Structure 1
Amino acid sequence: MLVPRERTRRDVPYVVPSWSDPVVARLTGVLGGPVGRYAVIGARGLTGVAAALVALGATMLALGVWQKGHCLLKGWNTPDQFWRACYSDLPVVHVSSVLAQRQLPWAAEVPSTQPPLSGLAMWVVAQVSPRAGQDVAAQQWVFVLWTLAAVVLLAAAVLAVVALQPRRPWQAAHLAVSPVVATLALVSTDLLGVSLMLLGLWAWQRDHPWPAGILLGVALLVRPFPLVVVVAVVLVARRRGDLLAGAQVLVGAVLGALAVLVPLVLVEPRALAPLRDWWVQGAGYGALQMVPRLMGTPLPTTATTVVAVAGWVVAVGVAVRVSSRRRRRHRHAAPLPGVVQLSALMMLVVVLTAPSLSVQSGLWLLPWLALSARPWWEHLVWAFVETLHFVTTWLHIAFATDPGRGLPPETYALVVALRSAAWAWVLWRVWDEPDRLSPRPAVRPAGAAHRPAAAAATPPPTV
């Protein structure tokens, strides 16, 4: 009987999740079980991993369509869309604004509250839709067209994560097959911003600071979360002594945002209304700042804005201090934090002080899970809380329609607090681990046969 030789890290080109993650090992039972000890790993290179994850991501989006099937068949009507938890910005904003007439959503007497890039994306969908108007057919076309776009956007995001982590490409599954993709990806256009942010990170890793900055700047026009990545990139570049690259990313982000905003404002000046309204908005759904309002003592609007701005200032200040620390010169010294760690730390502070944290904001946490090495059990715990918040938000909104069926404010406040704790826990775990983004891919050529190791060895962390 032949005894397999002792296998080492060099036997496999990347980490195999079913060898290293017990949750994945158990869940793979429906696919035939964990990868066998004599399996050939990496025969198709990263292409095979990426293709599998893109297909799985498309499957999750198909589940998202199924989850919103009632509204897709009957239309997005209030309060039915809340009881059925099938709300989506795309068809709702389409029929409740001048998008139904194929105009920009801010052109009405009361401008839309959609961010600039989100509103522009909805306008493009309205232009290519074969059906205008406010009927159910128009809603269906808008939703279906955005679903097709979401497949492309999710595929681009998955490819970016695989390229960013060639030694741990299956970590992109945290983005492709996350349970929250099925519930959140089709609620809004946030997937566009997530994809642009990940592509910007990929450009930065490939030493292309100008495209990185431009992509991150455009992503900022969906949500402000990419700003933490811009700051983290600049701080890491400063620490490495590459001030020019950091400046290029910062200037590129400004130019990228202006390249979209300037033509848009020239055509429709009220497109900036959502950005101006940020300073005067009260606490919104999902944020800790909303808890006092739910308990009957709302915070003043000024206080909400001050807390939010202070949160950003504190987040940047903490990141500057942490990134300025010098590495201790001994063998067991922890590596200095990289882009993923610094941005996760800033994200933690920003999330806890945000004026609002809508249900679709959960999509923005997936890149940090995918770019770190957090185990799947942590992801699933967070995803459970996120899904709980997803359902309870609609039930709370519908409470005004039917208090007997809806969720009262006090109960929703508990869910919001639980969700904030789950976000803080996950982001802290990401911050508390070594950065694993490698500057260059280290994968053997496609077609090379590899024998698996008895247990997947973790590659040494790089900064």
Structure 2
Amino acid sequence: MTEVVGGPLGRRSAPGIVSPGFFTVERVLIIMVTVSGILAVLFKFHCRQSGWTTPDQYSTTCWSELPNVFKDQGLFKNQGLAAFFPYFSSNATFAYPPLTGIIAGITGWLANGAGTEAQSQLAFFDLNSLLIVIMWMVTVVATARGAGRRPWDAAIVAASPALLFTAFTSWDLWAAALVAIAMLLFARRHNFAAGGLLGLAACVQPYALLILLVVLLLSLRTGRWLPLTESAIAAIVAWLVVMLPVLVLNPAAWGAYLSDGLGNKPSESSIYQTYDLIAQRLGAATAGPVTISVIALALLMLAVLSLAWLAMAAGRRPRFAQLAFLLVAAYSITDKYAAPQHIVWLLPLLALARPKWRTVLSWQAVQILGFLALLLFLGSELGNGNAQHAIDMPYFALAVLLQTGATVVVMALVVRDILRPGYDVVRRGGTDDPQAGVLEYAPDRLTLGFPRTARVMLSGSADPQSSQQAQGETSR
């Protein structure tokens, strides 16, 4: 942990060299998650004791989507009738993807046995929080195992300050866990299983599909299409396993989810809503929801095309985790429904893409600032203008811009690591790409010229020495 202030790895902490006894790397990481989970629950203590009421849940920064969804989306049983089950109840609509709805439906059904609405709401939050801590542990262990020679990098996720605020905000850690396991399986050359988990993760949060795009770009550059074919087929099958029952039993629910996504206004933390807020204050014209949806899609496509060009033009092929982080970060910035809790998507990818504590902690500090600013702004907006423990719009808009800018800066650092592999701490350790599976050390077949950058062709053999030599040539 002294790496934060520039210290070296302790001689008794070297994995595979010193026997740690009971306290193996993964067990220490799980202990970290357990302590972090307890602290995260304590951060919600006021609402657990007094209930999730407005504006208190914002002014005390203990707001969470989980208990509010239970109350607002009709998961509590009403007058002895059966509880609403998302996507499967008659004429049901739900503001989240299908697998998230299934998780909410099952936990809501279990929580309804707690008694009154307030008791059931608390039980729903506690039950989901317990499951989220388990997903947190799964994410950390999968990240540690997928990091190759650097398992301690997973401590970035296990002891994350930002997750203390955002872990129990929504179901995002379910998606993060599925993506982390999928990347681990792909690294171990289990392409079918990896694709299947990505298909399931996309039913929790659609950003998981961008991981398949990473496989596409790496396959395009190496000319090896079997990993992509296997992963894509498995992802489609897994997605259909979840979606077909919904489409057959209640197609209106899926249609309502899609139409709401297109027609609803953007989230408060998105750059589009920030523009609208500033425009309203200045008396300028604002953009409609459909227009914003089109702009968001156009910006995402522009970002994807730019990153695809980078993947094909860089002198040395980008690592899997680097491309994954850049694509997901671009999506989180351009998303119409951007939210501070989406840091959960990025953190495990950043731990693999650029495992430098100084960078990660600085970025998280700004993300926490954005999350707190959102709650204090909503406390004013939804609390009938109550100025106590609240902030005005200009300060909130500034926080959103800082939050977005911090992510752009981290993306720029990752791009620099790609263009100049000598800055990449993972490749400095003598490895090529721990997450690439069968694509690691594969020679390039299709590339684009990058101005004034030497082309580096990797040999087909998994030889760390040749990888280090290629890295040195690129640095020179």
CA–CA distance in structure 1, aligned partners of residues 469 and 94 of structure 2 = 45
CA apart distance, 1:25:
4.7
Which residue is 2:145 aligned to?
Answer: 163
Structure 1 residues 359, 373: closer, same or farther in 2, change over 3 A? closer
1:309 to 297, 303, 307: 297
Which position in structure 2 is the counterpart of 1:257? 239
Matched-pair contact (CA < 8 Å) for 2:12–2:20? no
Q: String of CA shifts for 1:313-361, please: whole Å, max 9, x gaps.
A: 2233223322333x7xxxxxx5211222222332343233221211211
CA distance in 2, matches of 1:83, 1:350: 29
Tell me which moved more, 193-202 or 404-413.
404-413
2:10 corresponding residue in structure 1: 35
Counterpart-to-counterpart distance in 2, 1:205 and 1:90: 33
Q: 2:407 aligned with 1:423, yes or no?
A: yes
Q: Tell me which amino acid in the other structure corresponds to 2:362.
A: V
CA offsets 1:176-223 (integer angstroms, 9 cap, x no match): 111011110101111000101111111111111111111112111222
In structure 2, distance between residues paired with 1:166 and 1:244 = 23
The match for 1:354 is 335
- Which of 293, 299, 315 aligns to 2:287? It is 299
- Partners in 2 of 1:372 and 1:169 — Cα distance? 13
Structure 1 130/290 Cα, relative in aligned 2: closer, same or farther at 3 Å?
closer
Name 2:450's counterpart in structure 1: none
- Could you state the TM-score of these two structures normalised by the residue count of structure 2? 0.80
Please, which of 300, 303, 307 is the counterpart of residue 319 of structure 1?
A: 307
Counterparts of 1:338-417 in structure 2, within 5 Å, are 338-400=319-381, 401=383, 402-405=385-388, 406-417=390-401
CA–CA separation in structure 1 for the residues paired with 2:242 and 2:318: 32
Q: Which residue of 1 aligns with 2:5?
A: 23
Partner of 2:429: none
Q: Judge conservation of contact 1:74–1:136 (CA < 8 Å) in 2.
A: no
Inter-CA distance 288–462: structure 2 relative to 1 (3 Å threshold) = farther
**2:47 is equivalent to residue 68 of structure 1:** no
**CA contact under 8 A between 1:311 and 1:354: conserved in structure 2?**
no
Deviation of 1:46 after TM superposition, in Å, equals 11
- Aligned ranges for residues 35-434 of structure 1 at < 5 Å? 35=10, 41-44=17-20, 48-101=24-77, 102-106=83-87, 107=89, 111-129=93-111, 131=113, 135-272=117-254, 273-295=256-278, 296=280, 297=284, 298-325=286-313, 335-400=316-381, 401=383, 402-405=385-388, 406-433=390-417, 434=421
Counterpart amino acid of residue 102 in structure 2:
L
> Which secondary structure does the structure 2 equivalent of 1:98 belong to?
coil
CA contact (8 A) 1:392 1:407 kept: yes
The answer to whether the 8 Å contact 2:300/2:331 transfers is yes
Q: Deviations over 1:120-142 (max 9, x none)?
A: 11111123336256522112211
Q: Is the 8 A contact 1:200 1:215 kept in 2?
A: yes
Query: Residues 382-436 of structure 1, C-alpha deviation per residue, up to 9 Å, x if partnerless?
Result: 1111111111111111212234222222221111100000111122223332474
Consecutive unaligned residues of structure 2, counting only runs of 5 or more, are 78-82, 427-432, 438-466, 472-476
RMSD: 2.8
Contact 1:369 1:430 in 2 (8 A): no
Aligned residues of 1:46 and 1:162 also touching (Cα < 8 A): no
Q: Residues of 2 paired with 1:38 and 1:353: CA distance?
A: 40
In structure 2, C-alpha distance between the alignment counterparts of 1:228 and 1:336, rounded to whole Å: 18
Gaps of 5+ in 1: 1-16, 27-33, 328-333, 441-458
How many angstroms apart in 2 are the aligned matches of 1:423 and 1:234? Answer: 24
Q: Which amino acid aligns with 2:376?
A: L
Give yes or no for contact 2:91–2:250 (8 Å, CA) kept in 1. Answer: no
Give the Cα–Cα distance (whole angstroms) in 2 for the partners of residues 37 and 286 of structure 1. 44
Alpha-carbon distance in 2 for matches of 1:246, 1:55: 36
Q: Judge conservation of contact 2:265–2:289 (CA < 8 Å) in 1.
A: yes
* Alignment check: 8 A CA contact 1:344 1:428 kept: no
* Structure 1 length-normalised TM: 0.82
% identical aligned pairs: 27
Q: Following the alignment from structure 1 to structure 2, what is the Cα–Cα distance between the partners of residues 196 and 378?
A: 25
Shift of 1:290: 1.4
Separation in structure 1 between the aligned mates of residue 66 and residue 349 of structure 2, nearest angstrom: 26
Counterpart-to-counterpart distance in 2, 1:262 and 1:289 = 34
Letter in 2 for 1:370: A
Q: Which has the higher contact order (CA 8 A, sep 6+)?
A: 1
Q: Check conservation: 1:214, 1:249, Cα contact below 8 A.
A: yes
Match of 1:404, SS?
Answer: coil
Q: Does the aligned pair in 2 maintain the 1:289–1:356 contact within 8 Å? A: no
Question: How far apart, in 2, do the equivalents of 1:338 and 1:135 lie?
Answer: 49
Quick one: which amino acid aligns to residue 240 of structure 2?
Answer: L
Structure 1 runs (4+) deviating above 4 angstroms are: 36-41, 44-47, 106-110, 459-463
Whether contact under 8 Å (1:213, 1:249) holds in the other structure is: yes
- Secondary structure of 1:282's aligned partner: coil
